Chains A and B, each alone.
Chain A
Amino acid sequence: MTAERNSIYGAEACSGCSLCLLVCPVWRSTFDIRLTPHGRAKALQHGATAFDVADSIDTCTLCGACEPVCPEEIALVDMVLALRRDLASTMPDRVGNAVVQLQQGVDSNSTTALSAYPTVLLADSALSEQPQLLQTVLALFSHEQAGLAADSGADIALALEAGASVPEERLNRFLAPLRTVRRMIVCDGVLLRALRDWLPRTRIDSLGEAASSLAGVRARLRPDDFYVIESRAYHADRERLVAHYDQLRVSSGCMMNLDLQRLAIPTTASHQWMPEKRRVDPADQARWILEGRVVARVVVEDCRDIAVFQRVAPYPVLHVAQLGDAR
């Protein structure tokens, strides 16, 4: 039995305060408490197994918004991931797609190749599929001589999300060249969380934070811009990033997808796992994000959000890297 099982995944600490409901996109689209951290934790307290809450854990988008608001400081994202892992260990079919990708293998950088770069970019699968945008992102960090990691770990990110186990050999192959890197810019929020655990001494920033720290990008943000923070990375480090984005908002005057608690309202577009169980429509979230706002332009951190906002917004949508020029 794992320690997690002994402690029912941390759920025993839940007081039932419901604060996690307020920020949860699944709650917003279903109003069904069973599909929320509150519902899961209480169910586990009353003897439910991972199997009993399978539907609930599959619908979680891993946006992470619930975690910073939980007064009991329960690791709510880890709870979902642990439950998914336990389910996957008894029902391997659940993670078929994720395992296939892991097994397909990935070209690996050599250690020396990556260590030549002061900064390394780990693109996610969506950015990798948009070569032009990827080049724009790299160009944004050219002053830092940023290099692109050929092994982006996208298969590992998907496996983590699904709860599939990552073979040690594959993990080592992925991490080995990264161990010498001083700074990493990571697009995938789930991978970013894991990397911070695996490589605690390396500086690891999200693409959003890295780009929005650049003076050139900040200078080009306008008061009528609507800036969409990528929620997974933001919530993974919310206590620090709330100040970063508050300064960005003050200096540029732009609007942001922050709610009244200063949590990032997610579109959930990065939710790749079990699309058939998705309860949240990213377009609906985007409409909610923009409701009542007078906007000239939407600027997104997650390239998946470009298409989402283009569906619902009658104004230009661009990626933060497209604000351009780092100088």
Chain B
Amino acid sequence: MDIAVIEPGVIPTDNVAPDALKGIVRQQTNPKRWEAANWAPFAVAAASADIELLVQPGIIGTFSTDAGGTAYGMPHAVVIACSAGQISGLLKLAQQFHVPVTVRGGGLTTEGESVAFGGVLLDMTGMSRVLSVDKNKLIVRTQAGIFWHSLAESLRRYDLDYLSAPLNLTSSVGGSLGVGGIDVNSPRLGCSADQAISLQVVTPTGDIVECSDTQNTQLFQRVILGYGQFGVITEATLKVRPYTPLRMHYFYYSSLRTAIEDLQLLDAGDAADYSGILTMMDKVVNLLVAFDSDEREATFMASWRGRLRGHGEAAFTLLMGLHYGLRPWLWREALWLRERKRQLFPEFRRPEHIRNGLMHDRTVVFSRAVWKFWGSRQMVIPDIATSTEKFVDAVEQGNAVCRKYFGHYTLYCVGIRLREDHRQHYEMSCIPPDATTHAYGCEFEPMLENAVYSRDTLQSFKNDIYDIGVKLGGSYYRFGGMMKGYIRRVFGDAVVDRHLAMKREADPGMILNRNVIF
């Protein structure tokens, strides 16, 4: 396959999804499956290089979709990752025979980014070993396919914990460093991607390279938050910290705007160790605030608590009772909220995770709740990321879209502290270009329950949300895969073309994660 040399600034023809980078008119659907030219000689070469291609329908089917459950695709073969050397050999052959390789960690994308539409699916979870833990220097070296939760299990034996990771148990380290990794402590500690000290990366041409802020910096900048475009992360050195249980506080609001203003007030003042908003539609808006130490909690109670406009649970329940008591025509909504609360709240208070009033293993608690109450075989979670200033507007507009499409939904809002020295990492990522100090993200998650929605309905909903991002000038956490049509609209041609030129240089065959961004 000939790849024309493209000068930055020129919009090229995309050989993968020709319409993807020009601004999509219609809703994006699955990319075309790769037609398997050269598959036979590639398979022969792989066998002689001792790279096992698994082709049984069972293993191929295992990876037919991602957590979103709306994009479906089949690889021609699966390779279970076992070493950087094996991956290097695979990518060299893939370049030689122009075979696409899709990398998959936990597969928790929702837009098909970790789904292979033909070619090889590289299952990174085969590389899930913790390599070393340095308790004194507070760093860990780990293989990058490991699930954050498995890493946490190892770290806890030494009374350590990771800094920030997605609030689910089965996203992988490599998959998160490539896309973000946002936790309820990200307003203070930043996202996972900002916490990596150094990485071992296999480049798309098969070189095994160590990179960091001081070594092979350009590669580091592109791989972090790079959506797997510039290399496969095989090992990572990460900062860790002493483990602490949480002192949790919940404040309840009936106004999104007020809750977000209070959240941002706390974040700007560094008043809490953890903060975020989780809602039941726009009716029950819960501001979660938590602390690692009694001292931090005491300071908050003395200096910040009085400034928050939220209520405690009992007072808020009373207010809601009054609100719905005066509006009997809303009884269905009231009943739904009551039932939801009855099911949900105990999950956050399970006795085996609460000791002396402290919450232990928060990710387990949150993740259990996430899968139990929000998870389903189809998950549609469009999001918007903006600067601090634009965030309230973005959430209010997104909320209106949710109301238009769905009876029940949840909003999850959280801040991300930014690192000025990582500006280069943020270009063309989920961090909006105009954000300073903090960026904010909101996920809009409809409760699909047992209703059946067409793909077009779901896609239109996502587009309505993403259009807000374009209008306000923001970014998205999930802008790859089926949503990649928004990339040019939101980042502009100059930035996209520059990244495309870099990609073409790094990956001449355009084989690595070809349906994600480019």
Contact = CB atoms under 8 A, between A and B. Distances in A.
B125 A47 contact: no
Interface string A27-42: 0000111100011001
A10 to B, nearest CB: 14
Nearest to B123: A33
B153 A32 contact: no
Given A16-B65, A21-B147, A31-B80, A39 B59 contact: yes
A22 B65 contact: no
Interface string B60-76: 11101101010000000
Nearest to B372: A71
A97 to B, nearest CB: 28
Nearest to A13: B377
Interface size class of B (residues with CB under 8 A): 35 or more
B153 A262 contact: no
A43 B78 CA distance: 13
A260 B126 contact: no
A71 B59 CA distance: 22
Which among A15, A38, A44 has the greatest number of chain B C-beta atoms within 10 A?
A: A15
Given A16-B107, A246-B352, A53 B58 contact: yes
Interface in B369-386: 371-372, 375-377
A293 interface: yes
Contacts of B60: 46
Given A15-B377, A246-B352, A71 B80 contact: no
Interface string B342-378: 0000000001110100000100100010011001110
B399 interface: no
B169 interface: yes
Nearest to B152: A260
A52 interface: yes
Contact of B62 (A19, A22, A39, A259): A39
A112 interface: no
Contacts of B145: 31
B346 to A, nearest CB: 12
Contact of A34 (B57, B58, B149, B153): B58
A22 B147 contact: yes
B62 A16 contact: yes
A45 interface: yes
Contacts of B170: 17-19, 21-22
B147 A46 contact: no
Interface in B124-160: 125-129, 145, 147, 149-150, 152-154, 156-158
Given A22-B170, A46-B57, A291 B157 contact: yes
Contact of A260 (B65, B149, B375): B149
A261 interface: yes
Contacts of A293: 157
B56 interface: yes
A209 to B, nearest CB: 16
B481 interface: no
B171 to A, nearest CB: 9
Contacts of B64: 42, 46
B106 interface: yes
A22 B368 CA distance: 13
A32 B127 CA distance: 10
A106 interface: no
A262 B352 contact: yes
B375 A259 contact: no
B62 A261 contact: no
Contacts, number: 106
Contact of B61 (A21, A32, A42, A250): A42
Nearest to B129: A31
- Chain A interface bracket (under 10, 10 to 19, 20 to 34, 35 or more): 20 to 34
B168 to A, nearest CB: 9
A250 B157 CA distance: 19
A48 interface: yes
B149 A33 contact: no
A243 B352 CA distance: 7
Contact of A32 (B65, B126, B376): B126
A34 B59 contact: yes
A34 B147 CA distance: 17
Contacts of B56: 43, 48, 52
A44 B376 CA distance: 19
B261 to A, nearest CB: 35
Interface string B372-416: 100111000000000000000000000000000000000000000
A275 interface: no
Contact of A52 (B58, B157, B364, B376): B58
> Among the interface residues B106, B145, B364, which one has the most CB atoms of the partner chain A within 10 A?
B364
A292 interface: yes
B62 A43 contact: yes
A252 B106 CA distance: 38
A47 B57 contact: yes
Given A31-B80, A33-B123, A18 B107 contact: yes
Contacts of A32: 80, 126
B80 A33 contact: yes
Interface in A114-152: none
Contacts of A18: 106-107, 125, 147, 170
Nearest to B146: A31
Nearest to A41: B62
Contact of A43 (B58, B129, B147, B376): B58
A43 B59 contact: yes
A242 interface: yes
A259 B69 CA distance: 30
A21 B372 CA distance: 17
A53 B61 CA distance: 13
B156 A46 contact: no
Nearest to B171: A18
B361 A260 contact: yes
B116 to A, nearest CB: 14
Contact of B371 (A19, A31, A246): A19
Nearest to A39: B62
Contact of A31 (B125, B169, B352, B364): B125
Closest 4 pairs (CB-CB, A-B): A46-B61, A292-B157, A43-B58, A42-B62
Given A15-B377, A32-B80, A39-B62, 14 more contacts: A15-B375, A16-B107, A17-B170, A18-B106, A18-B125, A21-B170, A22-B149, A31-B127, A33-B80, A38-B62, A48-B56, A260-B153, A261-B364, A291-B154
Interface of B: 54, 56-62, 64-65, 67, 69, 80, 106-107, 123, 125-129, 145, 147, 149-150, 152-154, 156-158, 169-170, 351-353, 355, 361, 364, 368, 371-372, 375-377
17 contacts: A15-B375, A15-B376, A16-B65, A16-B107, A17-B67, A18-B170, A21-B125, A21-B170, A22-B169, A31-B129, A34-B62, A39-B59, A43-B56, A46-B57, A47-B57, A52-B56, A250-B355
